[in-house]
């Protein structure tokens, strides 16, 4: 399958500050792709380059097969984006805004506009002035303007900003519908993993302009869970067990209190062997249980803190 968005060795500096050292990635039609990364990771910079708002220093970007540098217009007519606050006329109603943007394009009927208004969930407020809109309502109207052109690639920078939980769910449904039913290539950014987990089919984790992991949402959690699990032990004298463990294994044991410690274990075989040996050495185990499951949030924090060292090996496979 040909990628709809292809980024190759993209580089961008601001003065001496390297925002994107070297970014290569692909996004396909029919998927919601999430750019996930902490503040300053380079999400907006990448998105601005993709939407022609910023020029890259080096590298190649292709959209629907057109090179952004050489065939700027052809590439960008495929793209609909909301990067900064959408430009809206606040003294006009939502509907008049849409009509005005519709006039700039050909063949957009009122019927089509109504459909879009319905889709973004603004039907009951569309005739009010935009200055009376909440942030979330403006976002919805901005999305409506963007959708008018039926873009093949839809790019939204932090689209859930200002949306309430119901609004976030609604947006999620819209984006999934566009990707999965209309085959649109949807790219969103966020620093909230919990949100990306529900919204995206794949996420790319960005840290200091480097893509340290691209995977299907489920797979990121699986690899993280396969890697290590933390077990909570309830024993009689935790300090004795911990020092015995440290002497005999290269394991990470952390004493919590007189009767509890936590141990990070690679796999079930290791767990069985360690438990057996703890008991054979005269200690008593009252309970052992896995700590709560690793969340995408934990994985994300760990990856971005370490700069992705732990993941490098996975990508090489």
Shortest distance in whole angstroms from residue 42 CB to ligand ATP = 4
Helix (H) or strand (E) holding 51: none
Q: Round to whole Å and give the CA distance between 256 and 262.
A: 7
Based on CB atoms, which residue is closest to Mg ion, 161 or 315? 161
Based on CB atoms, which residue is closest to ligand ATP, 45 or 139? 45
Helices 135-148 and 165-182, packing angle to 10 deg: 10
State which of positions 150-189 bind ligand ATP (CB under 6 A): none
140 lies in the binding site for ligand ATP (CB under 6 A): no
Q: Which does 14 bind (CB under 5 to 8 A by kind): ligand ATP, Mg ion, none?
A: ligand ATP
- Contact set with Mg ion (CB under 5 A): 43-44
Q: Which distant-in-sequence residues (6+ apart) come within 8 Å of 288 by Cβ?
A: 231, 232, 233, 234, 271, 275
The answer to whether 236 and 259 are in contact (CB under 8 A) is yes
Shortest distance in whole angstroms from residue 86 CB to Mg ion = 15
45 lies in the binding site for ligand ATP (CB under 6 A): yes
DSSP bridge partners of 253: 263
191 lies in the binding site for ligand ATP (CB under 6 A): yes
Shortest distance in whole angstroms from residue 257 CB to ligand ATP = 38
What order of strands is seen across the sheet that includes strand 66-67? Answer: 17-27, 5-14, 58-63, 66-67
Query: Residues in contact with ligand ATP, total (CB under 6 A)?
Result: 12
37 lies in the binding site for ligand ATP (CB under 6 A): yes
Which span (11-19, 80-88, 122-130, 147-155) binds ligand ATP, by CB under 6 A?
A: 11-19
Tokens of 273: 């062997």
Shortest distance in whole angstroms from residue 54 CB to ligand ATP = 8
Tokens of 188: 């969103």
238 lies in the binding site for ligand ATP (CB under 6 A): no
DSSP bridge partners of 18: 13
C-alpha distances out from residue 17 to 14, 46, 186, 197, Å = 5, 15, 29, 31
The answer to whether 181 and 107 are in contact (CB under 8 A) is no
Which span (33-41, 67-75, 85-93, 213-221) binds ligand ATP, by CB under 6 A?
A: 33-41
Q: Which does 51 bind (CB under 5 to 8 A by kind): Mg ion, ligand ATP, none?
A: none
Instruction: Give the closest residue to 84 by CA, choosing from 33, 55, 44, 52.
Output: 44
Shortest distance in whole angstroms from residue 209 CB to ligand ATP = 7
39 lies in the binding site for ligand ATP (CB under 6 A): yes
Q: Which residues bind ligand ATP (CB under 6 A)?
A: 14, 17, 19, 37, 39-45, 191
């Amino acid at each position: 399958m040909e990628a709809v968005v292809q980024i190759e060795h993209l580089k961008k500096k601001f003065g001496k500050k390297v925002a994107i050292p070297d970014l290569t990635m692909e996004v396909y039609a029919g998927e919601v792709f999430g750019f996930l990364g902490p503040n300053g990771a380079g999400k907006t910079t990448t998105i601005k380059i993709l939407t022609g708002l910023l020029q890259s220093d080096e590298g190649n970007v292709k959209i629907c097969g057109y090179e952004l540098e050489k065939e700027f217009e052809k590439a960008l007519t495929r793209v609909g984006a909301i990067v900064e606050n959408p430009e809206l006329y606040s003294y006009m109603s939502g509907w008049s805004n849409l009509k005005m943007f519709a006039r700039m394009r050909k063949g957009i009927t009122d019927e089509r506009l109504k459909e879009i208004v319905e889709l973004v969930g603004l039907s009951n407020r569309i005739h009010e002035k935009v200055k009376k809109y909440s942030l979330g309502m403006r976002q919805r109207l901005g999305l409506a303007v963007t959708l008018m052109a039926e873009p093949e690639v839809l790019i939204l920078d932090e689209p859930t900003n200002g949306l309430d939980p119901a609004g976030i769910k609604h947006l999620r449904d819209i984006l999934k519908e566009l990707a999965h039913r209309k085959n649109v290539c949807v790219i969103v950014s966020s620093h909230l993993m919990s949100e990306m987990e529900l919204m995206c089919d794949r996420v790319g984790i960005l840290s200091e302009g480097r893509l340290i992991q691209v995977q299907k949402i489920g797979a990121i959690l699986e690899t993280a869970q396969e890697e290590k699990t933390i077990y909570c032990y309830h024993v009689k004298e935790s300090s004795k067990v911990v020092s015995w463990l440290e002497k005999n294994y290269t394991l990470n044991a952390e004493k919590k209190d007189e009767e509890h410690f936590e141990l990070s274990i690679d796999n079930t075989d290791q767990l069985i062997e360690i438990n057996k040996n703890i008991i054979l050495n005269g200690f008593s185990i009252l309970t052992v249980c896995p700590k709560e499951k690793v969340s995408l949030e934990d994985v994300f924090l760990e990856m971005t803190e370490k700069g992705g060292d732990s993941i490098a090996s996975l990508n090489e496979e």
